[in-house]
């Protein structure tokens, strides 16, 4: 069964009472479990709108959306939020970590708010495991300001994983990072993808898109290209070709 099915999705924003802005004009796509999709296209082409719909943050004006077999296009906002918490993880360009809490606490947060009713020990265990997965066990007690940008993004990825989502949505995850660090983030994504997580990533950086397995290009609210990447880059190999920036791993006082 596919993880995501979009069928003729339209999204029109209404500005005032008169002006309609068609942001998506008939997007269809199917994603199987284990895919790694890069969504690309110029500014204004509808990428963010599509991600908001995929992320159950908004509903389409028209069309169908099945997530893990569940028809979510018409769910109420509350039901959408529940689906979002259960099935999706999010990674953003700006990390969005809470600055006054440690890396580990940031990762624990989604579990504190989840309906699973886990006890604190179990929450800590799962957060610790997620931190290990992104290679940051030794930074559990650091606050975001004591971590480099790449490390903060790794914490954000661990936070997105701790609820064991089936799909990870990443919006320009390397947008604030230097080249080498960006490739390191792609290395983590490829590792997670190898473990079975389905990834959907918006990026405007063509090189970053090359780490995905499939590339979708949007223009004017439509998909103009959607095909597998036959010359996919392997991040663990590519990162060796790029020098480590002088301030990498810097821990601020
Ligand atoms: P991208 O992420 O590719 O830059 P967007 O999805 O942000 O594209 O935007 C697609 C179109 O929808 C653009 O014309 C944009 O101006 C419009 N748009 C996006 N969000 C809104 C909104 N909340 N209200 C009105 N128009 C919007």
Q: What is the whole-number distance in angstroms between the Cα of residue 21 and the centre of ligand 1?
A: 8
Percent of the chain at pLDDT exceeding 90: 84
**Mean pLDDT within 87-101:** 94
Distance (Å, whole) CA 88 – CA 19: 33
Residue 83: left (phi > 0), alpha (psi -120 to 50), or beta? Answer: alpha
Burial class (CB in 10 A: 0-12, 13-18, 19+), 42: exposed
Please state the separation of Cα 102 from the chain's center in Å. 22
pLDDT at 71: 94
> 62 has which bridge partners?
10
Q: Residue 251 pLDDT > 70, yes or no?
A: no
pLDDT digits (tens, 9 = 90+) for 114-157: 767 889 999 999 999 999 999 999 999 999 999 999 999 999 99
Distance (Å, whole) CA 180 – CA 98: 25
Q: Residue 18 pLDDT > 90, yes or no?
A: no
Q: How confident is residue 247, by pLDDT bands cut at 50, 70 and 90?
A: low
> Which residue's CA is the closest to the ligand 1 atom numbered 6?
46
Distance (Å, whole) CA 223 – CA 68: 22
Q: 17, 48, 54, 55: which to mutate for ligand 1, most atoms within 8 A of CB? A: 48
Q: Residue 253 pLDDT > 50, yes or no?
A: no
Please list every protein residue whose CB sits less than 6 Å from any atom of ligand 1: 13, 15, 21, 23, 41, 43-49
Q: Residue 17 pLDDT > 90, yes or no?
A: no
Q: What is the whole-number distance in angstroms between the Cα of residue 44 and the centre of ligand 1?
A: 6
Q: Which CATH architecture has domain 30-59+72-241?
A: 3-Layer(aba) Sandwich (3.40)
pLDDT at 245: 73
Residue 243 vs residue 163, higher pLDDT = 163
Q: What is the whole-number distance in angstroms between the Cα of residue 59 and the centre of ligand 1?
A: 14
**Domain boundaries of the chain, sorted by first residue:** 30-59+72-241
pLDDT at 249: 53
**Mean pLDDT within 24-28:** 98
Q: Residue 113 pLDDT > 80, yes or no?
A: no
pLDDT at 248: 54
Task: Report the mean per-residue pLDDT for the chain.
Answer: 93
pLDDT digits (tens, 9 = 90+) for 174-187: 999 999 999 999 99
Atom of ligand 1 nearest to the CA of 24: 10
Q: How confident is residue 246, by pLDDT bands cut at 50, 70 and 90?
A: low
Percent of the chain at pLDDT exceeding 70: 96
From first CA to last CA, the distance across the chain in angstroms is 50
pLDDT digits (tens, 9 = 90+) for 173-229: 999 999 999 999 999 999 999 999 999 999 999 999 999 999 999 999 999 999 999
pLDDT at 212: 98
Distance (Å, whole) CA 5 – CA 13: 22
Distance (Å, whole) CA 189 – CA 10: 29
Q: What is the whole-number distance in angstroms between the Cα of residue 4 and the centre of ligand 1?
A: 22
pLDDT at 118: 87
> Which residue's CA is the closest to the ligand 1 atom numbered 7?
48
Distance (Å, whole) CA 54 – CA 200: 9
Q: What is the whole-number distance in angstroms between the Cα of residue 142 and the centre of ligand 1?
A: 37
């Amino acid at each position: 069964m596919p993880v995501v099915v979009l069928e003729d999705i339209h999204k029109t924003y209404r500005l005032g009472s008169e002006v309609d802005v068609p942001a998506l004009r008939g997007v269809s796509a199917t994603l199987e479990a284990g895919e790694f999709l890069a969504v690309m296209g110029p500014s204004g082409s509808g990428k963010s709108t599509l991600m908001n719909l995929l992320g159950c943050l908004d509903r389409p004006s028209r069309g169908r959306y099945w997530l893990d077999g569940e028809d979510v296009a018409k769910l109420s906002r509350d039901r959408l939020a529940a689906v979002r918490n259960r099935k999706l993880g999010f990674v953003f360009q700006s990390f969005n970590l809470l600055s006054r809490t440690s890396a580990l606490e940031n990762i624990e947060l989604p579990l504190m708010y989840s309906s699973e009713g886990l006890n604190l020990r179990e929450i800590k265990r799962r957060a610790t495991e997620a931190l290990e997965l992104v290679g940051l066990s030794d930074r559990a007690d650091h606050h975001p300001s004591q971590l480099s940008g790449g490390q903060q993004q790794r914490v954000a990825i661990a936070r997105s994983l701790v609820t064991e989502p089936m799909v990870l949505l990443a919006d320009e995850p390397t947008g604030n990072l230097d080249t080498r660090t960006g490739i390191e983030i792609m290395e983590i994504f490829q590792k997670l993808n190898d473990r079975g997580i389905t990834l959907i990533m918006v990026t405007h950086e063509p090189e970053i898109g090359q780490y995905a397995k499939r590339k979708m290009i949007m223009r004017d609210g439509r998909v103009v290209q959607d095909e597998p990447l036959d010359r996919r880059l392997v991040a663990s190999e590519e990162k060796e070709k790029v020098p480590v920036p002088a301030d990498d791993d810097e821990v601020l006082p």
